Amino acid sequence: MDSSSEEKRRVGRGMLDDDVARRATFGERSGALLTEAQEVAALWEADVGVLIFDSAGSPHTSELMQRYQIITKGKFQGINHDDDRRQQLLGEIARLRRERDRLEASVRGLTGDNLPSAATTELGDLEQQVERALGKVRETKVHILEEQNSFLRHMMSEEGRQRAAVEASALVAELIVPMQQPATLVGGILPGRWRRRGRVHVAPAVAAAVSWQWQLRAYS
């Protein structure tokens, strides 16, 4: 039997007496344990920690934890920041849900859906809210109607002025034509707008032309 097999048997039985062999075996076995831990972490995506103490080491883990915290300080800070942000978002979501429930209850009250479960005080407050809302609706309606009436009056006045200007232009044209051709229009018929209530109203220029024609006939 060689020395290696004898050493393996002694390792299996108990603690090695040889200090050199014990240290060498400890290094090999601890390396194997770390390899197994890495494989477990890779296979199951888990965080695996291995603590190994030899006979000469201290069983206290405070120094080891301090080293671990220093190494992972930035990672922990990021996790804490994410947790704080998550808590803020959850609080905001809860607040928005409460606000939504309050608004839905208010809308149901305005539409009369949950009136049987409302108290007398709530019904009185609801009645006042409805009256104020109706008052605002009436004021808005009156304001809109006044604006529309004002616009219509303005349009009618503009249309009236334009119509009066057109009629005045036509009247001037009708008065100028008889002055140019008095003999033709003396025995003719005056325009319809000059007849009112059975009487014929003649403009001064037309009357002068008619008088001149009758004077010529009297002296001829």
Confidence class for position 115, pLDDT limits 50, 70, 90: low
Cα–Cα distance for residue pair 49/36, rounded to 1 Å:
11
Cα–Cα distance for residue pair 90/93, rounded to 1 Å:
5
Which range among 98-107, 114-123, 132-141 has the greatest average pLDDT?
132-141
pLDDT tens-digit series, residues 154-197: 777 777 777 777 776 776 666 555 544 444 444 444 444 444 44
CB 123 within 8 A of CB 114: no
pLDDT tens-digit series, residues 18-70: 777 777 777 788 888 888 888 888 888 877 878 777 666 666 677 777 777 77
Cα–Cα distance for residue pair 169/175, rounded to 1 Å:
10
Q: Is the model's pTM score more than 0.95?
A: no
Q: Which two tokens stand for residue 119?
A: 């108290």
Neighbours of 7 (CB within 10 A): 15
Neighbours of 177 (CB within 10 A): 11
Single-letter amino acid code for the residue at 168:
A
Confidence class for position 118, pLDDT limits 50, 70, 90: low
pLDDT tens-digit series, residues 55-109: 666 666 777 777 777 777 656 555 566 677 888 888 899 999 999 888 887 777 6
Q: Which residue is listed with tokens 């707008």?
A: 193
Query: What number of residues does the chain have?
Result: 220
Please tell me which residue, 112 or 51, carries the higher pLDDT value.
51
